[in-house]
Every structure is written in C-alpha cells, then in structure tokens.
C-alpha cells in the first residue's frame, strides 16, 4: 500500500528543492517531533547515488538510519528512491499558490498506516516551517 502526504510552500522551487536535498538543511528539518533530530545526513543526488539520514531521539534512547538509493532525479521536479524493498517519490509542483511538495511511499507492516502517515506528514510540516523561516 502506498501513502501520500503533501504540503504547499510559498517559496521559489529552486529554494524548496535546495532545502530538501542539502544535508545541512535536512539536519534542521528531518524530524517528526521535537524530541527527535537528525544528527548526520549525506546526499549524492544522482541516479544510483546514495543518501543517509541518522535519526535519533534527543535523549539518546533510540536511533536509526534512513538510507537508500536515488533511482530517478529531475532537478526541481522529481526525486525517486529505493530504501530497503520499498520506494518513495517526491514531487515538486509549482503553482499559483507556491510549490506543492508531495511524498508518496510504500507503507511498511510494522506500524499502523495512520501512524506512518502522521509521522511522514509531521516531517513534511517541519520541512515547510524550515523553508518559510529562511526566506
């Protein structure tokens, strides 16, 4: 099953794209809640290139690597990637109200669908806040 989350950001698409794909930016927005953070991020933004983000609870109690390989990259428009046996697609769609960022990913079976949707939406909301605070 696929899950889709999205947000609209009132900023130029080049700025939105940069904030989504730059490790220094990713470390500032890539968390679903205030008690988590991303401590390390690497991006090799090309087809066949790898990415990793180390996500950890701020109290040090838990952490994991979100990692995968880019399978398609169209600058300022589209990122497709594989992580484990799952895939994700990030679309950047410019419109009159700003840039719609839409993330579609394969759900996993360990956590409830709604929990996964809420977590990924929370990260996307943090991303929007990050871009909007750096105008």
Instruction: State the virtual CA torsion across 117, 129, 64, 47 in degrees, nearest 10.
Output: 90
State the pTM of this model: 0.94
Asked if residues 133 and 10 have their Cβ atoms less than 8 Å apart, the reply is no
Number of domains in the chain: 1
Per residue in 1-18, pLDDT (tens digit) is 999 999 999 999 999 999
CATH of residue 30's domain is 3.30.530.20
Per residue in 30-89, pLDDT (tens digit) is 999 999 999 999 999 999 999 999 999 999 999 999 999 999 999 999 999 999 999 999
Give the model's confidence band at 135: pLDDT under 50 very low, under 70 low, under 90 confident, else very high. Answer: low
Cβ-proximal residues to 98 (8 Å cutoff; 6+ apart), any chain:
8, 9, 10, 11
Residues paired with 9 in a beta bridge: 99
What six digits make up the tokens of 64? 């994991």
Domain that holds residue 124: 2-133
Asked if residues 88 and 80 have their Cβ atoms less than 8 Å apart, the reply is yes
Q: Between 31 and 135, name the one with better pLDDT.
A: 31
Cα separation of 113 and 76, whole Å? Answer: 29
């Amino acid at each position: 099953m696929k899950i889709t989350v999205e947000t609209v950001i009132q900023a130029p698409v080049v700025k939105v794209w940069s904030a989504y794909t730059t490790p220094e930016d990713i470390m500032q927005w890539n968390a679903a809640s205030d008690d988590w953070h991303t401590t390390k991020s690497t991006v090799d933004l090309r087809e066949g290139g790898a990415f990793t983000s180390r996500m950890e609870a701020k109290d040090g109690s838990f952490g994991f690597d979100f990692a995968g390989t880019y399978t398609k990259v169209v600058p300022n428009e589209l990122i497709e990637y594989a992580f484990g046996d799952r895939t994700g697609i990030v679309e950047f769609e410019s419109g009159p109200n700003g840039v719609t960022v839409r993330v579609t990913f394969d759900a996993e079976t360990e956590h409830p669908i709604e929990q996964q949707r809420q977590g990924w939406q929370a990260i996307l909301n943090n991303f929007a806040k990050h871009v909007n605070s750096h105008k």
